Amino acid sequence: MRDMQNRHLEAAELHRPVLPAETLEALAPQAGGRYLDGTLGLGGHASAVLSAAPDIELCGLDRDRQALELARQRLTPFGERVHCFHSRYSNFAESLRTLGWSRVNGALLDIGVSSMQLDMAERGFSFCGDGPLDMRMDQYSGVPTAWHWVNRESFARLKECIADLGEDPQAGRIARAIVEARQKAPIETTAELAAVVERAYPPAWRAKGRRHPATRTFQALRMVVNDELGELRRFLDSILGWLPVGGRLVIITFHSLEDRMVKQAMRRWAEGCRCPRHIPVCVCGHQPEVRLLYKKPIQAGQLELAVNSRAGSAKLRAIEKIAEASNA
Ligand SMILES: C[S@@+](CC[C@H](N)C(=O)[O-])C[C@H]1O[C@@H](n2cnc3c(N)ncnc32)[C@H](O)[C@@H]1O
């Protein structure tokens, strides 16, 4: 028992959930409801959802087996109300079908990596410790690692990845520096890669930047290795059909491209008439399927930022379903 309590404590200490009160308010879990947490992580948000009423059930997914095991342990006090699956969240329908659920009253995504993943040097997500260039959230998936991207991909693909996903204006210089460095010897570790990127940065930029020059490159590689935009796109394509009227969807993102995808999808669902502007009366009959809970994304306040700097880039958007899809 003592050991189990310790493990709950460990999971809670390994990752602090962002926007905890705001997430709960947006999801508004109801007694007797069924909820999907597509990014279980260390189970912080899930634990709060399950605590909201004694008969709530939750289906929790994570593609990282280590995180899933810790979350499972943390959530054992909720007994059979919790159902954990090792799965990508884009594949959520398969887990819901396994449970025999045809709808969920609410769904939550808190996208990205957990503090635990960042802190474990051997996972290769961060240059704060030295580790192998891995970066796969699911180490059993067989997808190419960051090592492959750094040592095997062409200059053009590296540059595109660092420019698009890292949004780094120095993408060309960085990609060139990587290609030159690997011609001498493969780049094996996170520290080696960070040093190559740092050297590629113009000294003036290095001096004025608040963050380490390699931050954006690491983010880009992590996103491409785990196909993070593809995951989100596939999820957004299908989740609405799984919510009943009154069901809610809450998504927390940490990257501008992801936030834009979520914003555009939610606005499209909330749209009424889609007739061209020059037509005076609506002939399409299209009705909104959702209402936006907030016009602007919710962001962390000073109190939260003081204890959790990771929350600095978090943006929460949420909708409530108000009608089934019209066929118009
Ligand atoms: C920011 S953490 C979530 C933290 C969690 N909300 C909590 O309170 O502890 C993100 C988690 O989502 C997982 N993840 C990211 N992308 C995923 C995907 N496409 N499918 C399933 N899990 C994913 C990561 O492995 C990580 O454990």
Q: Could you read off the pLDDT of 118-141 as tens digits, one per residue? A: 988 999 999 888 999 999 999 998
Position 12 confidence tier, pLDDT thresholds 50, 70, 90: confident
Q: Which atom of ligand 1 is nearest to the CA of 89?
A: 20
CATH no. of 144-225: 1.10.150.170
Q: What is the per-residue pLDDT for 304? A: 94
Asked if 2-116+228-321 and 144-225 have one fold, the answer is no
| Centroid of ligand 1 to alpha carbon of 283 (angstroms) | 43
Which mutation among 8, 63, 229 tests ligand 1's pocket best, with the greatest number of atoms within 8 A of CB? 63
| pLDDT value, residue 111 | 96
The Å distance, Cα 252 to ligand 1 centre, comes to 11
Count of all residues that appear for the chain in the document: 328
DSSP string, 90-122: GGHHHHHHHHT-S--SEEEEE-S--HHHHH-GG
Residue 1 — very low, low, confident or very high, per pLDDT cuts 50/70/90?
Answer: very low
Helix H or strand E encompassing 102: none
Residues with CB under 6 A from ligand 1: 15, 17, 39, 41-45, 61-64, 67, 88-89, 110, 112-114, 137, 231
| Atom nearest to 44 CA in ligand 1 | 8
In the three-class reduction of DSSP (H, G, I as helix; E, B as strand; rest coil), residue 304 is classed as: helix
Q: For residue 137, how far is its CA from the centre of ligand 1 (angstroms)?
A: 9
Average of per-residue pLDDT across 179-204: 95
The confidence score (pLDDT) of residue 112 equals 86
For residue 200, what is the enclosing H or E element? helix 190-200
Provide the b/e sequence for 83-118 (b: ≥16 CB within 10 Å).
bbbbbbbbbbeebbeeeebeebbbbbbbbbbbebbb
How far apart are the CA of 264 and the centre of ligand 1, in A?
22
| Among 59-63, 174-178, 324-328, the least confident range | 324-328
Task: Domain ranges for the chain, please list them.
Answer: 2-116+228-321, 144-225
- Mutation to probe ligand 1, out of 13, 23, 92, 137 (largest number of atoms < 8 A from CB): 137
Q: What's the CA angle centered on 113, arms 109 and 123, to 5 degrees?
A: 145
pLDDT digits (tens, 9 = 90+) for 273-287: 888 989 889 998 889
Residue nearest to atom 25 of ligand 1 (CA): 64
Q: Which of 28-32, 187-191, 205-209 is predicted least confidently?
A: 205-209
Nearest to 264, CA basis, from 238, 287, 292? 292
pLDDT of residue 207: 67
**DSSP class per residue in 268-281:** HHH----S-TT-SS
The predicted pLDDT at position 4 comes to: 40
State what percent of residues in the chain have pLDDT above 70.
95
Fold for 2-116+228-321, please state it: Rossmann fold (3.40.50)
Nearest atom of ligand 1 to the alpha carbon of 108:
6
42: tokens are 């260390």
pLDDT tens per residue across span 212-223: 999 999 999 999
pLDDT reported for residue 270: 97
Calpha distance 208→47 (Å, rounded): 41
More reliable by pLDDT, 97 or 14: 97
Taking 70 as the threshold, does the pLDDT of residue 55 lie above it? yes
Residue 327's pLDDT band (cuts 50, 70, 90)? low
